[in-house]
Amino acid sequence: MGKKNESPVAPIENHDGFARFLRESLRLNPLSFAIWIFILDLIVDAWIGYYYNLWFSPKGSVFPGILQDFTAIVVDFGSVPIIAGLYLWSTEGATSMFRQLTGSGVFRDASVINAEIDKSRPAYKSKFVFYLIAVLSILYALLQLAAYQGWVPWKSAGGYINLEPAAAYYRTPFWLLNFYTFLFAIYNIVITVVTLRKLFHTRGIRIQPLHPDKCGGVISISQYTVKIAYGIASAGLVISGATVFALQTNALRESYPIIIGIVAYLLLTPLLFFWPLGTAHTAMQEAKDAQLLQLAKRFDALYSRLSSEIDKDEDFEKDLKKLENIKKLYGIALEFPVWPFDISNLRRFFAVITAPLIPAFISIGIDILKDYIF
C-alpha cells in the first residue's frame, strides 16, 4: 500500500560544473573534499609562515602571527573544510533523505515524493543562481584582497595577514572557495527544507508506531538535520575563535558584534534544528489525532448503542469486550510518535553545536576569574 507508484528518487543536482568536476573527475566525496581542503590550507599557511616569517608577531605589533591567530586557525582548519564538505553533501544528503522517505512507507502514495521534488528541480538547477553565487564569490574574494592591499577605504578583519599584506594573494582562492561553497550549501539546504515542508502539507501520511527507527518511519529527517549541525558548528568555531582573540586583546567588552553573534548562535541554532522537523511534526500530530478521533467515534457509537439497549441486546457481553478493546487501541494510539527524531539524534545535534563554543566559554570564565582574583 505504501509502495504505490514508487520509483527511485533521481539524484538532486545543481547547475554547478565545479561540483560535477569534484565528483566525476576527481572522485571526491564530502569527507575527502573536506580533508583535501584542510591539507591545502595547511600547505598554504605553512608556506606563508615560512616565506614571510609570520609564525609569531614582531615585538610591538598589535597583529598576531599565524600560530597566535586563533581566529585564523579555526577558520582555515575548521570552518573552511567543514563548509566545503557540507557543500558537496547538501545535494547528496537531500537525495538520501527523500529516498529513505520513499521506502519508509510513511506516504500511502509514495509518488507524491517524486512529484514534489520534480517541482523543486528547476530551483535546484537554476542557472541564474549558479552565476549569481559565482559572481558574488569572486567579488567577495576580490574585496577581501583589496581591503588588505589598501585599494579600498575600509579595513578587513585584523589578523596575521596585516603583518604582510602580500600574503593575501595566497588566501584569495580560499576566500572565493569558502564563500562559493557556503552560499551553495545554504541555498541547497533551504530549497530542500522548503520542499520537505510542502511534501508534508500533502495528505496521506501514516504513522508506523512499531517502525524500527522509533520515529514512525521518518527518522531520515532528523538524520539530515544532524548533518546540517556540522555547518552550523562551523559558525560557532568562527565565533569562538573571535571571542578568544578579543579576550587576548582585552577588547571583548567593546566587541558588540561578537557578543551579539554568541547570543544569536545560542538562540537561532535550536530554531534551525526544529525548522525542518516542524511540518513533519504537524503532519504526524494530525495523523495521530485522526487515528484517535476514529477510535473515539467507534467507541462513542458502540457505547451509545449499548447504553440505550442494555436490556435488549443479546450480545451485550461480546460488545462490551469490543469497547474494552477499543480503549486498549486508544491507549496504544496515544503512544504514537509525533516528532521525527529520537533522543540519540537530539543528543548528537546539541553536542555538535555546543562543542565549538567551549573554548570561548572557558576563556570568558578564566577572564572573569582573573578579574575576580586580581
pLDDT at 268 over 80: no
pLDDT, residue 1, reads 41
Average pLDDT over residues 213-236: 80
Q: How would residue 135 be classed by pLDDT, with cut points 50, 70 and 90?
A: very high
Q: Which of 78-82, 109-113, 186-190 is the least confident region?
A: 109-113
Domain total of the chain: 1
pLDDT, residue 368, reads 67
What are 22-29's contacts with CB under 8 Å, separation 24+? 22/88, 23/88, 28/88, 29/88, 29/92
Where do the H-state alpha helices sit in the chain?
A: 17-20, 30-51, 70-74, 80-104, 111-124, 127-149, 168-201, 219-248, 256-308, 316-334, 343-354, 358-373
Q: Which of 24-33, 186-195, 268-277, 307-316 is the least confident region?
A: 307-316
pLDDT, residue 333, reads 82
In a domain, 130, yes or no: yes
pLDDT at 4 over 60: no
pLDDT, residue 210, reads 67
Average pLDDT, the chain: 83
Residue 4 forms beta bridges with which residues?
109
pLDDT, residue 126, reads 96
What percent of the chain is predicted at pLDDT more than 70?
Answer: 86
In a domain, 328, yes or no: no
In a domain, 155, yes or no: yes
Q: Is 16 helix (H, G, I), strand (E, B) or coil?
A: coil
What b-and-e string marks burial along 236-263, b requiring 16 or more CB atoms within 10 Å of the CB? bbbbbbbbbbbbbeeebeebeebeebbe
Average pLDDT over residues 100-107: 83
pLDDT, residue 243, reads 74
Q: Find where cell 571571542 sits.
A: 243
In a domain, 312, yes or no: no
- Is residue 102 within 8 A of residue 115, CB to CB? The reply is no
The conformation of residue 57, written as its DSSP 8-state character, comes to P
Residues of the domain holding 98 = 17-280+341-373
pLDDT, residue 2, reads 43
In a domain, 77, yes or no: yes
Highest average pLDDT, of 7-11, 32-36, 193-197, comes from 32-36
In a domain, 301, yes or no: no
User: Cα(241)–Cα(265) distance, rounded to whole angstroms?
Assistant: 14
What is each CA distance from 79 to 45, 71, 231, in whole angstroms? 15, 10, 8
In a domain, 1, yes or no: no
User: Cα(311)–Cα(220) distance, rounded to whole angstroms?
Assistant: 54
pLDDT, residue 185, reads 92
